[in-house]
Structure 1
Amino acid sequence: MSKRGLDSLGYIEREGSLGRVPKAFRPVVAAARDRVLDVFGARLHSAYLYGSIPRGTARPGRSDLDLLLALREEPTEADRADARTLDEALDKEFAQIDGAGTLLVGRAQVLSDLERHDLGWFVACLCTPLLGEDLAEELPRYRPDTLLARETNGDLALLLPRWRERIARVAGVTGAGGSEEALRPLVRHMSRHLVRTGFTLVMPRWNGWTSDLTEMAEVFAAYYPERDHPRRAVRLREAAVLGHEPVGDRAVLRSYVDDLGPWLAEEYARVHGVKNPRP
Protein backbone atom coordinates (compact mmCIF):
# COMPACT_ATOMS: atom_id res chain seq x y z
CA MET A 1 0.00 0.00 0.00
CA SER A 2 1.31 3.44 -0.88
CA LYS A 3 1.97 6.27 1.53
CA ARG A 4 -1.14 7.31 3.43
CA GLY A 5 -3.16 4.50 1.87
CA LEU A 6 -3.76 6.23 -1.47
CA ASP A 7 -2.85 5.25 -5.00
CA SER A 8 -1.12 7.51 -7.49
CA LEU A 9 -4.44 9.14 -8.42
CA GLY A 10 -5.43 9.92 -4.84
CA TYR A 11 -7.99 7.14 -4.38
CA ILE A 12 -8.09 4.99 -1.24
CA GLU A 13 -6.41 1.67 -1.92
CA ARG A 14 -8.06 -1.51 -0.76
CA GLU A 15 -6.43 -2.80 2.39
CA GLY A 16 -5.84 -6.41 3.26
CA SER A 17 -5.53 -9.62 1.25
CA LEU A 18 -5.75 -13.35 1.83
CA GLY A 19 -1.99 -13.49 1.34
CA ARG A 20 -1.51 -11.37 4.47
CA VAL A 21 -3.51 -13.67 6.78
CA PRO A 22 -1.06 -14.78 9.52
CA LYS A 23 -0.28 -18.49 9.55
CA ALA A 24 -1.94 -19.02 12.92
CA PHE A 25 -5.27 -17.74 11.58
CA ARG A 26 -5.36 -19.63 8.29
CA PRO A 27 -7.21 -22.65 9.76
CA VAL A 28 -9.82 -20.26 11.18
CA VAL A 29 -10.33 -18.57 7.81
CA ALA A 30 -10.54 -21.91 6.02
CA ALA A 31 -13.14 -23.19 8.47
CA ALA A 32 -15.13 -19.97 8.24
CA ARG A 33 -15.16 -20.15 4.44
CA ASP A 34 -16.41 -23.74 4.40
CA ARG A 35 -19.06 -23.20 7.07
CA VAL A 36 -20.40 -20.03 5.47
CA LEU A 37 -21.05 -22.05 2.33
CA ASP A 38 -22.63 -24.86 4.31
CA VAL A 39 -24.93 -22.51 6.23
CA PHE A 40 -25.97 -20.01 3.55
CA GLY A 41 -25.46 -21.93 0.32
CA ALA A 42 -27.25 -20.42 -2.67
CA ARG A 43 -28.47 -17.48 -0.57
CA LEU A 44 -24.91 -16.17 -0.40
CA HIS A 45 -23.75 -13.68 -3.02
CA SER A 46 -20.28 -13.02 -1.60
CA ALA A 47 -18.27 -13.21 1.62
CA TYR A 48 -15.47 -10.99 2.91
CA LEU A 49 -12.93 -10.76 5.70
CA TYR A 50 -12.10 -7.44 7.31
CA GLY A 51 -10.13 -6.17 10.27
CA SER A 52 -6.73 -7.22 11.56
CA ILE A 53 -6.69 -10.77 10.16
CA PRO A 54 -6.59 -9.84 6.44
CA ARG A 55 -4.37 -6.84 7.25
CA GLY A 56 -1.83 -9.24 8.73
CA THR A 57 -1.74 -7.56 12.14
CA ALA A 58 -3.86 -10.04 14.12
CA ARG A 59 -2.51 -11.40 17.40
CA PRO A 60 -3.35 -14.97 18.47
CA GLY A 61 -5.69 -15.03 21.45
CA ARG A 62 -6.32 -11.28 21.23
CA SER A 63 -7.85 -10.56 17.81
CA ASP A 64 -11.36 -11.29 16.67
CA LEU A 65 -12.59 -12.75 13.38
CA ASP A 66 -14.62 -10.25 11.35
CA LEU A 67 -16.79 -11.43 8.46
CA LEU A 68 -19.20 -9.64 6.16
CA LEU A 69 -21.68 -11.70 4.17
CA ALA A 70 -23.65 -10.19 1.30
CA LEU A 71 -26.79 -12.21 0.65
CA ARG A 72 -28.72 -12.20 -2.61
CA GLU A 73 -31.78 -10.96 -0.73
CA GLU A 74 -32.17 -8.93 2.43
CA PRO A 75 -31.18 -10.93 5.54
CA THR A 76 -33.97 -12.45 7.61
CA GLU A 77 -34.08 -13.04 11.35
CA ALA A 78 -33.39 -16.71 10.63
CA ASP A 79 -30.27 -15.68 8.70
CA ARG A 80 -29.10 -13.58 11.64
CA ALA A 81 -29.66 -16.46 14.03
CA ASP A 82 -27.63 -18.73 11.74
CA ALA A 83 -24.82 -16.14 11.70
CA ARG A 84 -24.78 -15.94 15.51
CA THR A 85 -24.59 -19.73 15.75
CA LEU A 86 -21.72 -19.72 13.26
CA ASP A 87 -19.86 -17.05 15.25
CA GLU A 88 -20.30 -18.90 18.53
CA ALA A 89 -19.06 -22.18 17.04
CA LEU A 90 -15.94 -20.60 15.52
CA ASP A 91 -15.11 -18.71 18.72
CA LYS A 92 -15.49 -21.85 20.81
CA GLU A 93 -13.40 -24.03 18.49
CA PHE A 94 -10.47 -21.73 17.74
CA ALA A 95 -8.39 -20.35 20.60
CA GLN A 96 -6.61 -18.07 18.12
CA ILE A 97 -9.58 -15.69 18.06
CA ASP A 98 -11.11 -13.64 20.84
CA GLY A 99 -14.63 -13.68 19.48
CA ALA A 100 -16.17 -13.76 16.01
CA GLY A 101 -18.61 -11.33 14.45
CA THR A 102 -20.51 -11.68 11.18
CA LEU A 103 -22.23 -8.73 9.51
CA LEU A 104 -25.13 -9.68 7.24
CA VAL A 105 -26.19 -7.34 4.44
CA GLY A 106 -28.15 -7.60 1.23
CA ARG A 107 -26.49 -7.16 -2.15
CA ALA A 108 -28.93 -4.40 -3.10
CA GLN A 109 -28.17 -2.48 0.10
CA VAL A 110 -24.42 -2.49 -0.59
CA LEU A 111 -24.97 -1.12 -4.09
CA SER A 112 -27.66 1.42 -3.17
CA ASP A 113 -27.15 5.16 -3.62
CA LEU A 114 -27.82 5.73 0.09
CA GLU A 115 -24.99 3.38 1.11
CA ARG A 116 -22.59 4.37 -1.66
CA HIS A 117 -20.24 6.25 0.70
CA ASP A 118 -20.72 4.11 3.79
CA LEU A 119 -21.38 0.40 3.41
CA GLY A 120 -20.34 0.47 -0.25
CA TRP A 121 -17.04 2.15 0.61
CA PHE A 122 -16.53 -0.30 3.47
CA VAL A 123 -16.86 -3.29 1.15
CA ALA A 124 -14.78 -1.74 -1.63
CA CYS A 125 -11.91 -0.49 0.52
CA LEU A 126 -11.84 -2.32 3.86
CA CYS A 127 -13.09 -5.82 2.98
CA THR A 128 -11.07 -8.68 1.50
CA PRO A 129 -12.97 -11.01 -0.86
CA LEU A 130 -13.30 -14.57 0.45
CA LEU A 131 -16.12 -16.09 -1.61
CA GLY A 132 -18.29 -15.16 -4.59
CA GLU A 133 -18.26 -12.20 -6.96
CA ASP A 134 -16.59 -9.11 -5.53
CA LEU A 135 -19.11 -6.26 -5.18
CA ALA A 136 -16.26 -3.76 -5.37
CA GLU A 137 -16.34 -4.27 -9.14
CA GLU A 138 -19.72 -2.51 -9.18
CA LEU A 139 -18.72 0.37 -6.90
CA PRO A 140 -16.78 3.59 -7.58
CA ARG A 141 -13.32 4.62 -6.38
CA TYR A 142 -13.20 6.70 -3.22
CA ARG A 143 -11.23 9.71 -2.04
CA PRO A 144 -10.73 10.73 1.62
CA ASP A 145 -13.05 13.73 1.30
CA THR A 146 -15.69 15.37 3.48
CA LEU A 147 -18.52 13.42 1.80
CA LEU A 148 -16.90 10.15 2.83
CA ALA A 149 -16.24 11.52 6.31
CA ARG A 150 -19.86 12.59 6.75
CA GLU A 151 -21.39 9.35 5.48
CA THR A 152 -19.12 6.98 7.37
CA ASN A 153 -19.08 8.52 10.85
CA GLY A 154 -21.49 11.43 10.85
CA ASP A 155 -24.05 9.60 12.98
CA LEU A 156 -22.29 9.50 16.35
CA ALA A 157 -24.97 11.66 17.98
CA LEU A 158 -27.55 9.01 17.08
CA LEU A 159 -25.38 6.20 18.43
CA LEU A 160 -24.69 7.70 21.85
CA PRO A 161 -28.18 7.05 23.32
CA ARG A 162 -27.94 3.43 22.15
CA TRP A 163 -24.51 3.12 23.75
CA ARG A 164 -25.91 4.41 27.05
CA GLU A 165 -28.67 1.80 26.86
CA ARG A 166 -26.14 -0.98 26.20
CA ILE A 167 -24.02 0.09 29.15
CA ALA A 168 -27.05 0.22 31.43
CA ARG A 169 -28.30 -3.15 30.18
CA VAL A 170 -24.98 -4.89 30.80
CA ALA A 171 -24.66 -3.26 34.21
CA GLY A 172 -28.21 -4.29 35.10
CA VAL A 173 -27.75 -7.90 34.06
CA THR A 174 -24.39 -8.46 35.76
CA GLY A 175 -24.94 -6.22 38.79
CA ALA A 176 -22.51 -3.96 40.68
CA GLY A 177 -22.02 -1.77 37.62
CA GLY A 178 -21.23 -4.65 35.31
CA SER A 179 -18.59 -7.37 35.45
CA GLU A 180 -15.21 -6.75 33.85
CA GLU A 181 -15.71 -9.63 31.41
CA ALA A 182 -19.08 -8.28 30.27
CA LEU A 183 -17.85 -4.70 29.89
CA ARG A 184 -14.63 -5.46 27.98
CA PRO A 185 -16.33 -5.96 24.58
CA LEU A 186 -18.15 -2.65 24.99
CA VAL A 187 -14.90 -0.84 25.81
CA ARG A 188 -13.19 -2.37 22.78
CA HIS A 189 -16.05 -1.55 20.40
CA MET A 190 -16.65 2.00 21.61
CA SER A 191 -12.94 2.82 21.86
CA ARG A 192 -12.36 1.79 18.26
CA HIS A 193 -15.41 3.64 17.04
CA LEU A 194 -14.44 6.88 18.74
CA VAL A 195 -10.85 6.71 17.46
CA ARG A 196 -12.07 6.13 13.91
CA THR A 197 -14.52 9.00 14.26
CA GLY A 198 -11.75 11.29 15.50
CA PHE A 199 -9.59 10.25 12.58
CA THR A 200 -12.24 10.71 9.89
CA LEU A 201 -12.99 14.13 11.38
CA VAL A 202 -9.55 15.24 10.16
CA MET A 203 -9.10 12.73 7.31
CA PRO A 204 -9.82 15.20 4.47
CA ARG A 205 -7.19 17.62 5.79
CA TRP A 206 -4.64 14.83 6.26
CA ASN A 207 -5.61 13.48 2.82
CA GLY A 208 -5.05 9.81 3.44
CA TRP A 209 -6.36 6.60 4.97
CA THR A 210 -5.14 4.26 7.71
CA SER A 211 -6.80 1.59 9.85
CA ASP A 212 -4.08 1.65 12.50
CA LEU A 213 -5.71 2.95 15.69
CA THR A 214 -2.48 4.42 17.05
CA GLU A 215 -1.80 6.29 13.83
CA MET A 216 -5.41 7.47 13.69
CA ALA A 217 -5.09 8.99 17.16
CA GLU A 218 -1.81 10.68 16.28
CA VAL A 219 -3.27 12.15 13.08
CA PHE A 220 -6.17 13.54 15.11
CA ALA A 221 -3.76 15.03 17.66
CA ALA A 222 -1.92 16.92 14.92
CA TYR A 223 -5.07 18.89 14.12
CA TYR A 224 -6.50 19.14 17.66
CA PRO A 225 -3.43 19.93 19.79
CA GLU A 226 -3.58 20.06 23.56
CA ARG A 227 -3.06 23.80 23.74
CA ASP A 228 -6.33 24.41 21.86
CA HIS A 229 -8.35 21.35 22.89
CA PRO A 230 -7.19 20.21 26.34
CA ARG A 231 -7.32 16.46 26.94
CA ARG A 232 -9.03 15.61 23.62
CA ALA A 233 -5.88 14.18 22.00
CA VAL A 234 -4.92 12.46 25.25
CA ARG A 235 -8.33 10.82 25.53
CA LEU A 236 -8.23 9.62 21.93
CA ARG A 237 -4.74 8.16 22.42
CA GLU A 238 -6.04 6.35 25.51
CA ALA A 239 -8.98 5.06 23.49
CA ALA A 240 -6.58 3.73 20.84
CA VAL A 241 -4.78 1.71 23.51
CA LEU A 242 -8.08 0.37 24.88
CA GLY A 243 -9.16 -0.55 21.37
CA HIS A 244 -6.30 -3.06 21.38
CA GLU A 245 -6.19 -3.94 25.09
CA PRO A 246 -9.67 -3.29 26.53
CA VAL A 247 -10.40 -3.25 30.24
CA GLY A 248 -13.86 -3.78 31.67
CA ASP A 249 -14.14 -0.37 33.31
CA ARG A 250 -17.55 1.29 33.47
CA ALA A 251 -15.94 4.66 34.24
CA VAL A 252 -14.25 4.55 30.83
CA LEU A 253 -17.58 3.89 29.13
CA ARG A 254 -19.29 6.69 31.03
CA SER A 255 -16.56 9.11 29.99
CA TYR A 256 -17.14 8.09 26.37
CA VAL A 257 -20.88 8.74 26.39
CA ASP A 258 -20.81 11.79 28.67
CA ASP A 259 -17.70 13.65 27.50
CA LEU A 260 -15.59 12.52 24.54
CA GLY A 261 -18.48 11.17 22.47
CA PRO A 262 -20.76 14.22 22.72
CA TRP A 263 -17.86 16.58 21.94
CA LEU A 264 -16.85 14.55 18.89
CA ALA A 265 -20.45 14.39 17.66
CA GLU A 266 -20.86 18.16 17.95
CA GLU A 267 -17.53 18.91 16.29
CA TYR A 268 -18.22 16.41 13.52
CA ALA A 269 -21.56 18.00 12.72
CA ARG A 270 -19.91 21.42 12.66
CA VAL A 271 -17.13 20.34 10.29
CA HIS A 272 -18.77 17.77 8.02
CA GLY A 273 -22.49 17.85 8.72
CA VAL A 274 -24.72 14.96 9.70
CA LYS A 275 -24.97 11.63 7.94
CA ASN A 276 -27.99 11.16 5.68
CA PRO A 277 -30.75 9.42 7.67
CA ARG A 278 -31.34 5.72 7.15
CA PRO A 279 -34.76 4.03 7.20
Structure 2
Amino acid sequence: MWFPMSERAAPRGLDPLGFIEREGSYARVPPVFRPVVAAARDRLLDAFGARLDSAYLYGSIPRGTARVGRSDLDLVAVLGEEPTGADRDTAGALGEAVDKEFPEIDGVGTLLYSRARVLSELERYDIGWFVACLCTPLLGEDLAEFLPRYRPDSLLARETNGDLARYLPRWRERIAAADGTEEALRPLVRFMSRNLVRTGFTLVMPRWNGWTSDLREMAEAFAGYYPERAGLMRRAAGYGYEPVGDRAVLRSYVDDLGPWLAGEYARVHGVRTPRPEGWD
Protein backbone atom coordinates (compact mmCIF):
# COMPACT_ATOMS: atom_id res chain seq x y z
CA MET A 1 0.00 0.00 0.00
CA TRP A 2 1.19 3.52 -0.79
CA PHE A 3 1.63 6.04 2.02
CA PRO A 4 2.26 9.81 1.83
CA MET A 5 5.79 10.88 2.71
CA SER A 6 4.62 12.12 6.10
CA GLU A 7 3.58 8.56 6.96
CA ARG A 8 6.75 6.85 5.74
CA ALA A 9 9.74 6.48 8.03
CA ALA A 10 12.27 7.86 5.53
CA PRO A 11 12.63 8.45 1.80
CA ARG A 12 13.47 5.21 -0.01
CA GLY A 13 16.82 5.06 -1.81
CA LEU A 14 18.11 8.45 -0.65
CA ASP A 15 21.03 9.32 1.58
CA PRO A 16 20.66 11.66 4.60
CA LEU A 17 21.20 14.69 2.34
CA GLY A 18 18.44 13.67 -0.07
CA PHE A 19 20.64 12.42 -2.92
CA ILE A 20 19.91 9.16 -4.71
CA GLU A 21 22.14 6.43 -3.34
CA ARG A 22 23.94 4.17 -5.76
CA GLU A 23 22.09 0.88 -5.89
CA GLY A 24 23.76 -2.47 -6.23
CA SER A 25 27.29 -3.66 -5.59
CA TYR A 26 29.46 -6.59 -6.57
CA ALA A 27 29.14 -7.90 -3.00
CA ARG A 28 25.40 -8.36 -3.58
CA VAL A 29 25.83 -10.55 -6.66
CA PRO A 30 24.50 -13.99 -5.60
CA PRO A 31 27.17 -16.73 -5.78
CA VAL A 32 25.24 -18.61 -8.47
CA PHE A 33 25.66 -15.66 -10.86
CA ARG A 34 29.32 -14.86 -10.16
CA PRO A 35 30.71 -17.26 -12.80
CA VAL A 36 28.41 -15.61 -15.35
CA VAL A 37 29.64 -12.15 -14.38
CA ALA A 38 33.27 -13.27 -14.47
CA ALA A 39 32.85 -14.75 -17.94
CA ALA A 40 31.16 -11.59 -19.24
CA ARG A 41 33.89 -9.41 -17.73
CA ASP A 42 36.66 -11.44 -19.36
CA ARG A 43 34.92 -11.48 -22.73
CA LEU A 44 34.40 -7.73 -22.68
CA LEU A 45 38.15 -7.35 -22.23
CA ASP A 46 38.85 -9.83 -25.01
CA ALA A 47 36.37 -8.14 -27.34
CA PHE A 48 37.35 -4.50 -26.85
CA GLY A 49 40.84 -4.60 -25.31
CA ALA A 50 42.47 -1.25 -24.76
CA ARG A 51 39.46 0.51 -26.30
CA LEU A 52 37.41 -0.42 -23.22
CA ASP A 53 37.41 2.55 -20.84
CA SER A 54 35.15 1.00 -18.17
CA ALA A 55 32.39 -1.55 -17.74
CA TYR A 56 29.45 -1.91 -15.38
CA LEU A 57 26.71 -4.26 -14.23
CA TYR A 58 23.18 -3.06 -13.64
CA GLY A 59 19.79 -4.56 -12.98
CA SER A 60 18.72 -7.34 -10.66
CA ILE A 61 22.01 -9.26 -10.50
CA PRO A 62 24.05 -6.55 -8.71
CA ARG A 63 20.99 -5.67 -6.62
CA GLY A 64 20.90 -9.26 -5.38
CA THR A 65 17.31 -9.84 -6.51
CA ALA A 66 17.92 -11.92 -9.66
CA ARG A 67 16.07 -15.20 -10.18
CA VAL A 68 17.94 -18.22 -11.51
CA GLY A 69 16.90 -19.02 -15.05
CA ARG A 70 14.57 -16.03 -15.24
CA SER A 71 16.68 -12.87 -14.93
CA ASP A 72 18.86 -11.39 -17.62
CA LEU A 73 22.43 -10.10 -17.33
CA ASP A 74 22.65 -6.36 -17.96
CA LEU A 75 26.00 -4.81 -18.91
CA VAL A 76 27.35 -1.40 -19.90
CA ALA A 77 30.59 -1.05 -21.85
CA VAL A 78 32.12 2.43 -22.12
CA LEU A 79 34.63 2.84 -24.94
CA GLY A 80 37.24 5.50 -25.47
CA GLU A 81 35.47 6.58 -28.66
CA GLU A 82 31.98 6.41 -30.12
CA PRO A 83 30.85 2.80 -30.64
CA THR A 84 30.44 1.65 -34.23
CA GLY A 85 27.97 -0.71 -35.80
CA ALA A 86 30.67 -3.37 -35.70
CA ASP A 87 31.10 -2.77 -31.97
CA ARG A 88 27.38 -3.32 -31.43
CA ASP A 89 27.54 -6.54 -33.44
CA THR A 90 30.45 -7.66 -31.28
CA ALA A 91 28.52 -6.90 -28.09
CA GLY A 92 25.49 -8.76 -29.42
CA ALA A 93 27.55 -11.84 -30.29
CA LEU A 94 29.20 -11.73 -26.86
CA GLY A 95 25.81 -11.65 -25.18
CA GLU A 96 24.47 -14.54 -27.24
CA ALA A 97 27.51 -16.66 -26.38
CA VAL A 98 27.27 -15.98 -22.64
CA ASP A 99 23.52 -16.58 -22.64
CA LYS A 100 23.95 -19.89 -24.43
CA GLU A 101 26.68 -21.06 -22.06
CA PHE A 102 24.98 -20.16 -18.78
CA PRO A 103 21.43 -21.44 -18.14
CA GLU A 104 21.37 -19.39 -14.93
CA ILE A 105 20.42 -16.32 -17.00
CA ASP A 106 17.69 -15.55 -19.53
CA GLY A 107 19.40 -13.25 -22.00
CA VAL A 108 22.22 -10.71 -22.01
CA GLY A 109 21.93 -7.05 -22.93
CA THR A 110 24.95 -4.79 -23.38
CA LEU A 111 24.68 -1.01 -23.73
CA LEU A 112 27.57 0.72 -25.48
CA TYR A 113 28.56 4.35 -24.91
CA SER A 114 31.64 6.49 -25.33
CA ARG A 115 33.35 8.07 -22.33
CA ALA A 116 32.73 11.51 -23.82
CA ARG A 117 29.01 10.86 -24.10
CA VAL A 118 28.64 9.56 -20.55
CA LEU A 119 30.37 12.67 -19.21
CA SER A 120 28.76 15.17 -21.60
CA GLU A 121 26.63 18.04 -20.36
CA LEU A 122 23.78 16.89 -22.60
CA GLU A 123 23.66 13.42 -20.98
CA ARG A 124 24.41 14.48 -17.40
CA TYR A 125 20.86 13.79 -16.24
CA ASP A 126 20.26 10.71 -18.35
CA ILE A 127 23.18 8.42 -19.20
CA GLY A 128 25.39 10.11 -16.62
CA TRP A 129 22.82 9.61 -13.88
CA PHE A 130 22.26 6.03 -14.99
CA VAL A 131 25.97 5.20 -14.71
CA ALA A 132 26.44 7.06 -11.44
CA CYS A 133 23.37 5.74 -9.62
CA LEU A 134 22.17 2.52 -11.23
CA CYS A 135 25.40 0.88 -12.42
CA THR A 136 27.91 -1.19 -10.45
CA PRO A 137 31.58 -0.84 -11.50
CA LEU A 138 33.01 -3.98 -13.07
CA LEU A 139 36.12 -2.85 -14.97
CA GLY A 140 38.20 0.29 -15.36
CA GLU A 141 37.73 3.78 -13.99
CA ASP A 142 34.42 4.59 -12.32
CA LEU A 143 33.02 7.58 -14.19
CA ALA A 144 30.70 8.39 -11.29
CA GLU A 145 33.69 10.21 -9.79
CA PHE A 146 33.33 12.86 -12.50
CA LEU A 147 29.55 13.26 -12.22
CA PRO A 148 27.37 15.19 -9.75
CA ARG A 149 25.07 13.85 -7.06
CA TYR A 150 21.44 13.54 -8.08
CA ARG A 151 18.11 14.28 -6.42
CA PRO A 152 14.74 12.81 -7.46
CA ASP A 153 13.56 16.10 -8.96
CA SER A 154 11.65 17.20 -12.04
CA LEU A 155 14.84 17.87 -14.04
CA LEU A 156 15.94 14.28 -13.57
CA ALA A 157 12.44 13.03 -14.39
CA ARG A 158 12.33 15.03 -17.62
CA GLU A 159 15.78 14.04 -18.86
CA THR A 160 15.54 10.34 -18.04
CA ASN A 161 12.09 9.47 -19.38
CA GLY A 162 10.67 12.56 -21.04
CA ASP A 163 10.92 11.09 -24.53
CA LEU A 164 8.37 8.28 -24.51
CA ALA A 165 6.35 9.88 -27.31
CA ARG A 166 9.37 9.62 -29.61
CA TYR A 167 9.66 5.89 -29.03
CA LEU A 168 6.03 4.85 -29.43
CA PRO A 169 6.14 4.79 -33.27
CA ARG A 170 9.20 2.54 -33.10
CA TRP A 171 7.40 0.24 -30.69
CA ARG A 172 4.48 -0.02 -33.09
CA GLU A 173 6.88 -1.01 -35.87
CA ARG A 174 8.47 -3.70 -33.68
CA ILE A 175 5.06 -5.09 -32.75
CA ALA A 176 3.95 -5.19 -36.39
CA ALA A 177 7.18 -6.89 -37.48
CA ALA A 178 7.15 -9.57 -34.77
CA ASP A 179 5.65 -12.94 -35.54
CA GLY A 180 2.90 -14.20 -33.30
CA THR A 181 4.92 -16.77 -31.39
CA GLU A 182 5.33 -16.74 -27.64
CA GLU A 183 9.10 -16.69 -28.11
CA ALA A 184 8.94 -13.53 -30.23
CA LEU A 185 6.36 -11.61 -28.18
CA ARG A 186 7.46 -12.31 -24.60
CA PRO A 187 10.68 -10.24 -24.80
CA LEU A 188 8.73 -7.32 -26.26
CA VAL A 189 6.16 -7.51 -23.46
CA ARG A 190 8.91 -7.60 -20.85
CA PHE A 191 10.81 -4.69 -22.41
CA MET A 192 7.81 -2.42 -22.94
CA SER A 193 6.26 -3.27 -19.57
CA ARG A 194 9.44 -2.34 -17.73
CA ASN A 195 9.83 0.85 -19.72
CA LEU A 196 6.29 2.01 -19.04
CA VAL A 197 6.46 1.22 -15.32
CA ARG A 198 9.73 3.09 -14.94
CA THR A 199 8.31 6.04 -16.84
CA GLY A 200 5.19 6.00 -14.68
CA PHE A 201 7.34 5.97 -11.58
CA THR A 202 9.59 8.85 -12.62
CA LEU A 203 6.45 10.82 -13.47
CA VAL A 204 5.61 10.81 -9.75
CA MET A 205 9.16 10.46 -8.38
CA PRO A 206 9.58 14.12 -7.31
CA ARG A 207 6.35 13.96 -5.33
CA TRP A 208 7.09 10.52 -3.90
CA ASN A 209 10.58 11.86 -3.08
CA GLY A 210 12.61 8.70 -3.27
CA TRP A 211 14.08 6.07 -5.56
CA THR A 212 13.46 2.38 -6.15
CA SER A 213 14.11 -0.04 -8.99
CA ASP A 214 11.51 -2.56 -7.83
CA LEU A 215 8.83 -2.58 -10.51
CA ARG A 216 6.00 -3.39 -8.13
CA GLU A 217 7.01 -0.64 -5.73
CA MET A 218 7.25 1.73 -8.69
CA ALA A 219 3.71 0.80 -9.70
CA GLU A 220 2.44 1.36 -6.15
CA ALA A 221 4.09 4.78 -5.98
CA PHE A 222 2.41 5.69 -9.27
CA ALA A 223 -0.94 4.36 -8.03
CA GLY A 224 -0.91 6.79 -5.12
CA TYR A 225 -1.18 9.72 -7.54
CA TYR A 226 -3.08 8.17 -10.48
CA PRO A 227 -5.52 5.66 -8.98
CA GLU A 228 -7.57 5.59 -12.18
CA ARG A 229 -4.55 4.08 -13.99
CA ALA A 230 -3.30 1.99 -11.08
CA GLY A 231 -4.61 -1.34 -12.37
CA LEU A 232 -2.93 -0.94 -15.74
CA MET A 233 0.39 -0.02 -14.16
CA ARG A 234 0.26 -2.89 -11.66
CA ARG A 235 -0.45 -5.29 -14.50
CA ALA A 236 2.52 -3.91 -16.46
CA ALA A 237 4.75 -4.37 -13.40
CA GLY A 238 3.69 -8.00 -13.20
CA TYR A 239 4.44 -8.53 -16.88
CA GLY A 240 7.83 -6.90 -16.37
CA TYR A 241 8.72 -9.88 -14.18
CA GLU A 242 6.51 -12.58 -15.74
CA PRO A 243 5.88 -11.58 -19.37
CA VAL A 244 3.28 -13.19 -21.59
CA GLY A 245 3.44 -13.56 -25.35
CA ASP A 246 0.27 -11.59 -26.03
CA ARG A 247 0.02 -9.11 -28.87
CA ALA A 248 -3.10 -7.58 -27.30
CA VAL A 249 -1.02 -6.50 -24.30
CA LEU A 250 1.46 -4.81 -26.60
CA ARG A 251 -1.29 -3.05 -28.52
CA SER A 252 -2.76 -1.73 -25.28
CA TYR A 253 0.62 -0.25 -24.45
CA VAL A 254 1.02 1.67 -27.72
CA ASP A 255 -2.65 2.59 -28.16
CA ASP A 256 -3.65 3.49 -24.60
CA LEU A 257 -1.25 3.51 -21.66
CA GLY A 258 1.77 4.72 -23.63
CA PRO A 259 0.16 7.73 -25.34
CA TRP A 260 -1.58 8.79 -22.13
CA LEU A 261 1.65 8.52 -20.16
CA ALA A 262 3.63 10.46 -22.76
CA GLY A 263 1.09 13.29 -22.72
CA GLU A 264 0.89 13.47 -18.93
CA TYR A 265 4.67 13.39 -18.66
CA ALA A 266 5.01 16.32 -21.05
CA ARG A 267 2.38 18.25 -19.09
CA VAL A 268 4.03 17.68 -15.72
CA HIS A 269 7.76 17.71 -16.51
CA GLY A 270 8.15 18.78 -20.13
CA VAL A 271 9.99 16.82 -22.80
CA ARG A 272 13.57 15.62 -22.82
CA THR A 273 16.16 18.00 -24.25
CA PRO A 274 16.50 17.23 -27.99
CA ARG A 275 19.66 15.45 -29.07
CA PRO A 276 21.56 16.17 -32.29
CA GLU A 277 20.69 14.16 -35.38
CA GLY A 278 22.16 10.70 -35.08
CA TRP A 279 23.04 11.11 -31.40
CA ASP A 280 20.88 8.20 -30.22
TM-score between the two structures when normalised by the length of structure 1: 0.95
Is 1:242–2:246 an aligned residue pair? Answer: no
Between the aligned partners of 2:110 and 2:153, the Cα distance in structure 1 is 28
Residue aligned with 2:272, SS: coil
- CA displacement, residues 189-211 of structure 1 (integer Å, 9 cap, x when unaligned): 00000000000000000110000
Aligned mate of 2:34, from 19, 26, 31: 26
Between the aligned partners of 2:155 and 2:71, the Cα distance in structure 1 is 31
Q: Which stretches of structure 1, 4 residues or longer, exceed 6 Å deviation after superposition?
A: none
Number of the residue aligned with 2:110: 102
Letter in 2 for 1:143: R
Number of the residue aligned with 1:8: 16
Number of the residue aligned with 1:185: 187
Between the aligned partners of 1:43 and 1:131, the Cα distance in structure 2 is 12
Offset of residue 52 of structure 1: 0.2
Structure 2: gaps (5+ residues): 1-9
Letter in 1 for 2:90: D
Is 1:267–2:264 an aligned residue pair? Answer: yes
Between the aligned partners of 2:267 and 2:122, the Cα distance in structure 1 is 22
RMSD over aligned CA atoms reads 0.8
Letter in 2 for 1:101: G
Between the aligned partners of 2:274 and 2:104, the Cα distance in structure 1 is 38
Letter in 1 for 2:104: Q
Between the aligned partners of 2:258 and 2:11, the Cα distance in structure 1 is 30
Offset of residue 3 of structure 1: 4.5
Between the aligned partners of 1:24 and 1:188, the Cα distance in structure 2 is 23
Aligned mate of 1:122, from 130, 136, 143: 130
Residues 11 and 209, structure 2, Cα contact 8 Å, conserved in 1:
no
Aligned mate of 1:169, from 177, 184, 195: 177
Aligned mate of 1:204, from 203, 206, 209: 206
Aligned mate of 1:233, from 227, 230, 235: 230
Letter in 2 for 1:267: E
Identity %: 79
Number of the residue aligned with 2:219: 217
Residue aligned with 2:70, SS: coil
Number of the residue aligned with 2:7: none
Aligned mate of 2:156, from 133, 148, 152: 148
Residue aligned with 1:223, SS: coil
Letter in 2 for 1:188: R
Offset of residue 216 of structure 1: 0.2
Residue aligned with 1:60, SS: coil
Between the aligned partners of 1:93 and 1:55, the Cα distance in structure 2 is 23
Offset of residue 89 of structure 1: 0.2
Structure 1: gaps (5+ residues): none
Q: How does 1:72-87 map to 2 (within 5 A)?
A: 72-87=80-95
Number of the residue aligned with 2:196: 194
- CA displacement, residues 129-179 of structure 1 (integer Å, 9 cap, x when unaligned): 000000000000000000000000000000100000000111xxx3xxx11
Between the aligned partners of 1:29 and 1:3, the Cα distance in structure 2 is 31
Between the aligned partners of 2:237 and 2:135, the Cα distance in structure 1 is 21
Between the aligned partners of 2:118 and 2:64, the Cα distance in structure 1 is 25
Between the aligned partners of 1:224 and 1:165, the Cα distance in structure 2 is 29
Between the aligned partners of 1:4 and 1:167, the Cα distance in structure 2 is 35
Q: How does 1:131-146 map to 2 (within 5 A)?
A: 131-146=139-154
Letter in 2 for 1:223: Y
